[in-house]
Amino acid sequence: MSLVAAADELDDSSGTVSLMTLHTAKGLEYDSVFLTGVEEDLLPHRMSANEPGGPAEERRLFYVGITRARRRLFISLAMTRAQFGEVNVAMPSRYLQEIPAELIDWKQSPGMATSRGGTQPRALNARREGGGYGGRSRSSSGFEDPALPPPPRPKTQWANTVTGQVRDNGDLELAFGDRIRHTDFGDGRVTGVTGEGRKRIAEVQFDGPAGRKRLLIKIAPIEKL
């Protein structure tokens, strides 16, 4: 993997991953493109809200990013984001709502539905994998050939949401010495709790190879033993 600062530094034949900003990507194309961190406060960036035309310019940059892909486009966002010493639930970028739902297949990561914050599924203008209309085949990117006629829409328009039981541990009380079980890391012992309310963080020493972890109690996939 390499970080490039100028387009003339790129070597398409190197077989490596090119990591670049959206500004640097202008004029370039790749068979596969990965856009990460497509979340509110990142894209659009929180600072753009106070700048004239800021959100519109951020939208143009997002368009630049998605149109760099010749064949496959992968868009991802985090479940939580740690910034400025706080861990908060990451919300999907508003620009995702502007992409037609039939052009996106939403693929959940393991445990994602039970790790999101809040008490309701988060709306996203995308469909779950395997939920295509009319049984049409799709490419691995989830984007259909624009030359083909659009699929017929069902009479009933269902809300586009990430389904599944969404975890909310707001009432879970943990203290030093408590034993917990994590969906991915297994069993462990609480060695400390800091913060208040929805920002409470538990320090846990897991029995297995996961070792010591800091977990946001409200949304962590854990249960008290």
CATH number at residue 62: 3.30.160.800
Could you tell me what percent of the chain has a pLDDT over 70? 65
Q: Which residue has the tokens 């969404």?
A: 166
Spatial separation of the C-alpha atoms in residues 221 and 172, rounded to whole Å:
12
Q: pLDDT digit string (tens) for 120-176?
A: 334 454 444 444 333 333 443 444 444 555 555 444 443 444 444 446 777 889 999
Within a domain: residue 215? yes
Please report whether residue 1 resides in a domain.
Answer: no
The rounded distance, in Å, linking the Cα atoms of 68 and 209 is: 40
State which of 103, 119, 144 marks the end of a domain: 103
Last residue of a domain, one of 103, 134, 150: 103
- 146, part of any domain: no
What single string gives the DSSP state of each residue in 165-194?
A: PPP--TT----TT-EEEETTTEEEEEEEEE
Final residue of a structural domain among 53, 81, 103: 103
**Alpha-carbon gap, residue 103 to 72, rounded angstroms:** 12
Whole-angstrom distance, CA of residue 197 vs CA of residue 218? 9
In a domain, 140, yes or no: no
Kindly state whether residue 145 falls inside one of the protein's structural domains: no
pLDDT of residue 143: 46
Provide the pLDDT for residue 155.
Answer: 44
Task: State how far the alpha carbon of 213 is from the alpha carbons of 14, 136, 192, 203, 223, in Å.
Answer: 37, 44, 11, 6, 15
Query: CA–CA separation, 131 vs 62, rounded Å?
Result: 26
The verdict on residue 78 lying in a domain is yes
Model pTM score: 0.48
Residue 43 burial class via C-beta count within 10 angstroms: exposed 0-12, middle 13-18, buried 19 and up? buried
- Domain total in the chain: 2
Residue listed under structure tokens 């149109």: 67
Tell me, yes or no, whether 139 lies in a domain.
no
Residue 72 lies inside a defined structural domain of this protein = yes
Tell whether omega for the bond before 110 is within 30 degrees of 0, i.e. cis: no
Full domain range(s) for residue 192: 178-224
Q: Which helix (H) or strand (E) holds 101?
A: none
* Amino acid 187: pLDDT: 95
Q: Cα–Cα distances in Å, from 167 out to 123, 164, 188?
A: 16, 9, 19
- Per-residue pLDDT at 24 exceeds 60: yes
